[in-house]
Structure 1
Amino acid sequence: MASNRGGALSGEFDRVLAVEARGFILGTTLAAVADRPLALARKKGKLPGPVFRTEYRLAYGTATLELQQDTLTPGERVLVVDDVLASGGTLAAAAALIAESRAEIAGYGVVTTIDGLGGTDRLAPARVFSVIPEQQG
């Protein structure tokens, strides 16, 4: 399903993976504009059926992110969308779920990144597209 819509990342991804919760708004919009299917990465216990699960660290503790096992197709190029990239823990957890699904990371889309917390470096070599330039932490 080819589309020339989707802006800077047009044609570089097959599916959008939106991260709970603010990523849902952004991911839904991007998937619609780019004419790509949408998948949701949710917090622990919110998805039915078998899930892939990964635990990750936050500044204030740990969290768990889940993805239904039959959501992604092996080899599919997935763009991960969230609101803010800080240390990269949440987006790295989403990447682990994508890898477990045998799909591929096409890149990351965020509204903004927070400078000095290492998030972009942590996600390298994958491309990070930020709508607003880095903000001071």
Structure 2
Amino acid sequence: MDLKSFIRDIPDFPKPGIVFRDITTLLRDSQGLRYTIDTLKDKCDRLSPDYVVGMESRGFLFGVPLAYQLGCGFIPVRKPGKLPGQVIAAQYQLEYGSDRLEMHIDAMAPGSKVLIVDDLIATGGTATATAQLVQEAQCHLVGFAFIIELKALGGRNQLPDVPIVTLIDYD
């Protein structure tokens, strides 16, 4: 299946010069969505994670069904002030600004195997910050999975040396 055909390009969003890769057109298609989750599961099964960690908010959309398919738990990584318990935090840079992510300090037992999932990797800032949270939690990062990779932005080069699964590449 050509997943790229389900992605809509939105020029100049969220600011001029940015081409936003809109996944809502993929999410609304039952066959495209099923194929996406099934393909991620097939490609990530060998990593045998104990947990899938997904970043707010689009990482939740793919992380939860993937965790279900892999038979493991899901851990949300959220923007500041959204989690009720004690958190650990990481600051990161986006291609158009900066932000911060938080995770519950007791989300996973030390030594757990973790797969990080998001819809897209661009500059790698969000994924790198999430990997820092996994490391701070004393867990073992087994890989990353993304629906889309924007290769020209080089985000893959910022990530730790673990397997990286992507389904759609843009140069």
Q: Which TM-score applies when normalising by structure 1?
A: 0.91
1:66, CA displacement in angstroms? Answer: 0.2
User: Which residue number corresponds to residue 3 of structure 1?
Assistant: none
What is the match of residue 53 of structure 1? 89
Of 127, 135, 138 in structure 2, the residue corresponding to residue 102 of structure 1 is 138
- After superposition, residues 61-76 of structure 1 pair within 5 angstroms as 61-76=97-112
Residues 9, 26 of structure 1: CA spacing in aligned structure 2 closer, same or farther, 3 A cutoff? same
Residue 50 of structure 2 is aligned to residue 8 of structure 1: no
Instruction: Letter of the 1:7 partner, please give it.
Output: D
1:25-48 Cα distance to aligned partner (Å, 9 max, x none): 100110111111000000011001
Residue 60 of structure 1: how far off its partner (Å): 2.1
Which runs of 5 or more residues in structure 1 are unaligned? 1-5
* Moved segments of 4+, more than 2 Å: none
Deviation of 1:124 (Å)? 3.8
What is the deviation of 1:11? 4.2
Q: Which amino acid aligns with 1:79?
A: L
Counterpart Cα distance in 2 of 1:86 and 1:79: 18
Taking the aligned partners of 2:152 and 2:116, their CA distance within structure 1 comes to 21
Gaps of 5+ in 2: 1-40
When the two chains are superposed, the root-mean-square deviation of aligned CA atoms in Å is 1.3
Between the aligned partners of 1:60 and 1:86, the Cα distance in structure 2 is: 11
Aligned equivalent of 1:43: 79
Aligned to 2:162: 126
The structure number with the bigger radius of gyration is 2
One-letter identity of the residue aligned with 1:114: L
Alpha-carbon deviation of 1:129?
0.2
SS in 2 for 1:82: strand
Matched pairs, number: 131
CA–CA distance in 2 between the matches of 1:42 and 1:104?
A: 20
Q: Which has the higher contact order (CA 8 A, sep 6+)?
A: 1
Counterpart in the other structure of 1:135: 170
AA in 2 matched with 1:26: F
CA distance in 1, matches of 2:76, 2:141: 15
In the alignment, residue 37 of structure 1 is paired with which amino acid? Answer: G
